[in-house]
Amino acid sequence: MTEKRYTLADKLRSYIARYGINDLNEIHLKKVGLSIDELKENFSDRQDMVQAILEYERKCFEEIFNEYNFEGWNAIDILLMVSNEINNRFFNVTPSVTITLAEFFPDIFQNHLQKRSDFIFEKMKINIEKGMQQGIYKRDVSSEMLARMFIAKLNDIHNPQIYPPEEFTFSTIFNNLIDNLIKNITSEEGRNYYKQRKQLYSILNFR
């Protein structure tokens, strides 16, 4: 996908958050820096727009791992840095947009969710095994099971029955998810390290 489509996809997400997916109104489009002609030139239909929005989200997430060389890092620091970057890049993500896309384009959304889950599963599994080797995570756990449990909880972020979008922001839910994960999998050494290091990542709202 071209950089132009990525830029438009980001603006489209903002549009959907404000006006919904069904009505592409020229006046409203101008308010987010878009036009009907521009959309027609770069997208074949609404499905193509949705594909671009979700692909852009995955690209933003995957770029974190491309930009950082985590070789030699402490496993807890990796989780904190990735969490910090996700908050910086997705601070304006509105759960209601994701809910809308999942409702009106279920097949496209499920395909996106599977691709995202596969990527996160591999990264989480590597992190858990790394932390176990470093002695900061508990050794009597299954990295595969923990990675799958994390993905299940992550996917629940988009469930409006569990987290009504008018009550919870993406950052609030995600930060608490990471906090609970680290607290549950760390050894005593890891917990002590975590208490010291989390102060450096002020973006995370720990309690």
Report pLDDT digits (tens) over 48-81: 999 999 999 899 888 988 888 888 899 999 999 9
CA 158 vs CA 54, 65, 93, 173, 186: distances in Å: 14, 23, 11, 10, 27
Mean pLDDT over each residue of the chain, to the nearest integer: 89
Question: Average pLDDT of 123-141?
Answer: 95
Beta carbons of 29 and 35 less than 8 angstroms apart: yes
Specify the CATH class of 3-200 in words: mainly alpha
Q: Which residue has the higher pLDDT, 65 or 39?
A: 39
Beta strands in 2-111 (DSSP E): none
Task: Give yes or no for a contact between 187 and 72, defined as CB atoms under 8 angstroms apart.
Answer: no
The phi, psi pair for 95, rounded to 5°, reads: -55, -30
Tell me the C-alpha distance between 207 and 205, whole Å.
7
Q: Which residue has the higher pLDDT, 123 or 201?
A: 123
Residue pair 91/47 in contact (Cβ under 8 Å)? The answer is: no
Residues 150 and 113: their CA atoms lie apart, in Å, by 14
The answer to whether the beta carbons of residues 16 and 100 sit under 8 Å apart is yes
Helices vs. strands in the chain: H and E counts, helices first = 10, 0
pLDDT at 207: 38
Q: How many CB atoms lie within 10 A of CB 63?
A: 12
> What type of residue sits at position 14?
S
Residue 206 in this model has a pLDDT that exceeds 70: no
Contact 70, 48 (CB under 8 A): no
- Nearest one of 1, 196, 175 to 88, comparing CA atoms: 175
Q: Residue 201's pLDDT is what?
A: 65
**In this structure, which amino acid lies at residue 200?**
L
